[in-house]
Amino acid sequence: MNASEMRQQKTSAKGQAVVAKILSREAKVGVVGLGYVGLPLVQLFCKQGYKVVGFDIDQPKVDLLNAGKSYIGHIPSKNISDLVEKKQFESTTDFDRIGEVDAIVVCVPTPLTKHREPDLGAIIATSEAITPRLRDGQIVILESSTFPGTTDEVVKPILEKSGLVAGEDFFLAYSPEREDPGNKVHTAKSTPKVVGADGIDALEIADALYTSIIDATVVVSNSRTAEAVKLTENIFRSVNIALVNELKIIYDKMGIDVWEVIDAAASKPFGFMPFYPGPGLGGHCIPIDPFYLTWKAREYDVPTRFIELAGEINTHMPSYVVSRLSEALNEHFEKSVKGSKILILGIAYKKDVDDMRESPSLVLIERLEAAGAKVEFYDPFIPVIPHTREHDNLSGRKSVELSAKVVEEFDAVLISTDHTDVDYQLVSQKARLVIDTRNRAYRGADANAIIVKA
């Protein structure tokens, strides 16, 4: 049954009552997980007249929010303080308050284990925390990126341990997050929201909730389809980035500038979509989501060679960059990586944000230091490297100041993240060697540094 056929079914009286509560803004919303996905969602709900309770296990984070302070760079503290002062938003670590809300939106992390398998620990823990507090008439919506079947096969059985039945007593849906930190064109409100649920009541309730805060929704036939949509979006990007990363290595050997090739190819008005190479993949989605599908595909004995190959290529890119740096040091200065001083520009995984989840810059630091280099970094958005799951040995490291004197102290500057607010002219004039992984504006004739695209 497709989404259109499902919506021809009649919504129950209970479902209609929940929809009416949403449309009247009498419904109270709970958002579990107040990070890069959850906090923007809180703002959207509050702006549309809902009262929101935020849930998180991190007490310092909760205390900051209740004090009206933001810990995410692209969300001003004033936005949070206004909501707190108006008593539209409060956050808590007390999950007993789950019973107060009518809609529970779950936005918790879904990382990979060290063996590149899905880690659903946060989803399971959150579901188990909700279960004893779940009440009749509530809807639970999972937004965390995950493999198809998670909502039905993992979340639903845990929640039904409450004695309540999904589709009859409470409602369950899935709507993948599409947050893009720092994107000023496609915001959380303007980006269409995919909604899937198993049952017409859950579908209509979830759609009503998101339609009230998002410009447009895209309804699909069930939760598994919605889960697959999210993975497909990011696998598409992972595969295409892997393609241009591989082309970069090939074309470099041929003496061809891959950036020039891509720019020229992008002039074709059909049949081509430009993707750009880099030092590796970062962010919570693209490096992780494809492996959620490869893991699930094993259950069906289906190979995923194309997806896995893309992952191998993208994972290899930091090694390629280190190799290019090593070659350049040796070629131009007869110097090895061991003992060299390297400055990395950019720790965030993408430009102009303070988000460093899965950033290839962290891998670059570790590999360069393992080779004997002395490494520092500069990032205007990340003054100190915070705790990370896989690179905690780097936590507490501080950004240097970017000045002529500082740049001159290094044997090479490696551009890993192309933040806008960086004085690249200063770098090009004062650095000895620049390894540019982002094709970042070294086109002027005034560059004194040796520029190597990598």
By annotation, the residues acting in catalysis are 285
In 3D space, the residue among 214, 48, 178 whose CA is nearest the CA of residue 206 turns out to be 214
Question: How does strand 51-55 pair with strand 139-142?
Answer: unpaired
Provide the token pair at 97: 């308050």
Half-sphere exposure of 51 (CA within 13 A, CB side): 12
CA–CA gap between residue 142 and residue 148 (Å, rounded): 12
- Asked whether the beta carbons of 307 and 294 are under 8 A apart, the reply is yes
Q: Which residues pair with 172 in a beta bridge?
A: 140
Q: Which amino acid is at 30?
A: G
- Asked whether the beta carbons of 104 and 131 are under 8 A apart, the reply is no
**Secondary structure class of 374 (helix, strand, coil):** strand
CA–CA gap between residue 408 and residue 432 (Å, rounded): 7
In 3D space, the residue among 145, 144, 117 whose CA is nearest the CA of residue 234 turns out to be 145
| Range list of H helices, 392-437 | 404-408, 424-430
CA–CA gap between residue 239 and residue 309 (Å, rounded): 8
Query: Sign of the CA dihedral 312, 317, 318, 322?
Result: positive
Please, what's the b/e burial string for 418-427 (b: 16 or more CB within 10 A of its CB; e: otherwise)? bbeebebeeb
CA–CA gap between residue 225 and residue 428 (Å, rounded): 49
Q: What separation in angstroms does the CA of 414 have from each of 259, 278, 435, 451?
A: 18, 12, 5, 10
In 3D space, the residue among 291, 286, 281, 239 whose CA is nearest the CA of residue 117 turns out to be 291
CA–CA gap between residue 299 and residue 339 (Å, rounded): 48
